[in-house]
Amino acid sequence: MDKRRLLFDFGESIAAPGNHLFILGDLFDFWFEWKRVIPRRHFVVLHHIRGWADKGLKLYYLAGNHDFRLGSFLREEIGFQTFEGALNFEAGGRKFHLFHGDGVMKSDAGYRFLKKVLRNRLNQKLFTALHPDWGIKLADLSSRLSREVNEDRRDYEFTPDYLEYARRKIEGEGFDFVIMAHTHLPLFRQIGKGAYLNTGNWYRDFTYGLFQGGELKLEKYQER
């Protein structure tokens, strides 16, 4: 199955005025915007997404742990509204908390520190001094090493901390829905009067969250 073609098919099916698409980060294995350069291997995907925006689809992008620098390109050229952290909003009389989910685990203290280092503006400016070819090679190496380190971890190991995070947001802060990604585990769980949804891994499970008619559901996209 051509996974990119399935993604394009999904986008075309929802590209219409009045619809909203929230991408919770890590659309690509690595994203960094230099002043005049973006990774060329993402051009075809971005071209299609721009087409969805031209048809009236509202686009939102929340930075994930593979998104090292969201600059003006995604906003000005593709049509995204971009967010570095969580996004809180109300729709249909419901309160939503959306977040990529990196750093939620109690054991992620080291990562939370590393995230601050990687998102530091001075460090990002230093990274832009690298030629993009070298910068992307370095990022690819880092991503591969990360996968090797974490290959023995199972998705379900993340679930308890994520459910606890969602419970705090729902019971303590009054949100109706908490939606995250990052764990790669599709999950929908009722929590009191609210619910937690993890969108899972699109390229493996083709799952996504759908809010329609006042109801939030976990869906699996099927080829038309």
The CATH number of the structural domain formed by 3-220 is 3.60.21.10
Total-model pTM: 0.85
Asked if residue 22 has pLDDT above 50, the reply is yes
**What amino acid occupies position 104?**
V
CA gap 105, 164 in Å, rounded? 10
In angstroms, the CA 61 to CA 21 distance is 9
pLDDT in tens, 85-116: 899 999 999 999 999 998 787 666 566 655 66
% of the chain residues with pLDDT over 90:
54
Amino acid 193: pLDDT:
93
209 closest CA partner among 3, 8, 10: 10
- What number of residues does the chain have? 224
pLDDT the model gives residue 114: 58
User: Model confidence at 20, in pLDDT bands (50, 70, 90)?
Assistant: very high
Distances (CA, A) of 2 to 28, 75, 222: 16, 27, 13
Distances 136 to 28, 53, 63, 77, 125 between C-alpha atoms, Å: 12, 27, 18, 21, 15
Residue 210 has pLDDT above 90, yes or no: yes
Tokens of 54: 């031209």
User: CB of 186 within 8 A of CB of 217?
Assistant: no
Domain boundaries, the chain: 3-220
Confidence of residue 149 (pLDDT cuts 50, 70, 90): very low
Round to whole Å and give the CA distance between 40 and 185.
Answer: 29
- Percentage of the chain lying above the pLDDT 70 cut: 81
